[in-house]
Amino acid sequence: MSGHDPETSWGAPLRPAYGPDDLPADRLRQDLGAPGEFPYTRGIHAEMYRKRLWTMRQYAGFGSAAETNKRYRFLLEQGQTGLSVAFDLPTQMGHDPDAPMARGEVGRVGVSIATIEDMQDLFEGIPLDRVSTSMTINATASILLALYVATARRQGVAPAALGGTIQNDILKEYVARGTYIFPPGPSMRLITDTFAYCKAHVPRWNTISISGYHMREAGCTAVQEVAFTLANGMAYVRAALEAGLAIDDFAPQLSFFFNAHNNLLEEVAKFRAARRLWARTMRDTFHARDPRSLTLRFHAQTAGSMLTAQQPETNIVRVAVQALAAVLGGCQSLHTNSMDEALALPTERAVRIALRTQQVLAHESGVADVVDPLGGAFALERLTADIEDAAAAYLRRIEELGGAVPAIPFMQREIQDAAYRYQREVEDKRRIVVGVNEFVTDEVPPANLFQVDPAVGDALAGRLARHRAARRREAAETALDALERGARGRENLVPLMVEAVEAGATLGELCGRLRGVFGVHQPSVTF
């Protein structure tokens, strides 16, 4: 250690040892339960990984759809069991690759998708009725879902056969990440329209992945990650109820996305606390009755912000510890970061090592053989209770402020304060980061890093021009007009989006029509 008494990520002191007196027996009985039973502390399934392992996803996307398709095929050949799509910034922000705002960013941090042909290329040779696909997309989530449904139809796959997830979590974009387009009101409408559409047409689809991951990447603590994520989840539930949906009609399709951070015990406790806090919220606040509505199903990704450019091989160990925490905490799917991601997009070798990390945990470590193997450990149960209690206090404060949307500035300030405290602890060596503030070497970064073709932007802009010239222009304009009329009224917009992309309209054109109706979000600046 660094000579300082150990603390949790939220600054609470840790005792040297914990015992039976650290958690009253009556609370332990009330909180623990059995796996697969309320309050789901020990997992949402009775046998967890003994019957089915978690889905192993590797988040990937770069350059053109055809290039990314090659990486997907490579990953599936290596034993990956689900796809996870990373989109470039123009796609996330609703711009086509030939837009002035897209210049220099096309294909850089994800794949560029503007048309149904792009989506077809992305999944060429991949049967969409047999692969689960997760798409990390928020402001344009409903449009990407429409493109996916339209692509499946061209494959001869009915929407009802599709399984996967769209992130579709705009509130965390306002709080921590920044890739929003429309103001909160219209954005929430798009989300609830997606809930209703999937209930009717894509019943196996997870309509939202309520994300704490990006808030943790921005610097929040484990407690804040649980509290702010669940607060956003409550806001989505209320928006859906206000839109006329019944709680048990949409709640089973809600899912969550958490960060798997460095501190093993704290992270395992975090996942368990989040699960039971959500179960109680859904039962007691929203009066859900379907057991599936009470279960917090979550994807985890290892912590990108904890990867170091210095001595990048050390990241393999970090990722293994973080992945172990996610598995011990009961995740339903998992992405493991690659060792070189602090330097560039990952190479195939680094991606394979990251995937093999999950496979070793699944098949060699034994942690999948017993449900909640750390359950009942004194320290773990006390940490789980502490995180639940502290997160519940945050939730009460957010409710006093009027809910997650009015509380956005509050959550932003709390995250900024936590990030500042962490950075000061690193600079003061109260927290040791191996290779950064201790155990430093003079090694130079590796030279064989992955590079995106710098000409990809111009190539995709040219492809888009050919697409526009070849489509039936009148049909595309008619479909876009229908979408605009729907946006001015109350019609569900997702079927109109499916019709528009099938008619050849582009993502940028759909967003342009919606911007004209909804406007663009302008964040308030506070000091």
For the chain, give every domain's residue range.
20-408
pLDDT-derived band of residue 278, with 50, 70 and 90 as boundaries? very high
**pLDDT value, residue 1:** 44
- The percent of residues above 90 in pLDDT, for the chain, comes to 92
**Averaged pLDDT for residues 45-68:** 95
The secondary structure of 29-84 as a DSSP string is: HHHH--TTSTT-TT-SSSSGGGT-PPEEEEEE--BSHHHHHHHHHHHHHTT--EEE
How confident is the model over 112-145, as pLDDT tens digits? 999 999 999 999 999 999 999 999 999 999 999 9
CATH 3.20.20.240 fits domain 20-408: yes
**Averaged pLDDT for residues 194-201:** 96
How confident is the model over 436-478, as pLDDT tens digits? 999 999 888 777 787 788 899 999 999 999 999 999 999 999 9
Using CA atoms, how far apart are residues 255 and 166, in angstroms rounded to an integer?
10
Contact indicator for 41, 330 with CB cutoff of 8 Å: no
Statement: residue 435 has pLDDT above 50: yes
Q: Which of 19-33, 86-100, 186-200, 420-434 has the lowest mean pLDDT?
A: 19-33
Residues 6+ apart with CB under 8 A from 259: 212, 213, 216, 217, 225, 300, 301, 302, 303
Whole-angstrom CA distances from 33 to 19, 37, 173, 393 are: 19, 7, 35, 23
Helix (H, G, I), strand (E, B) or coil at 134: strand
- pTM for the model stands at 0.94
Helix (H, G, I), strand (E, B) or coil at 256: strand
Helix (H, G, I), strand (E, B) or coil at 369: coil
**Averaged pLDDT for residues 190-199:** 97
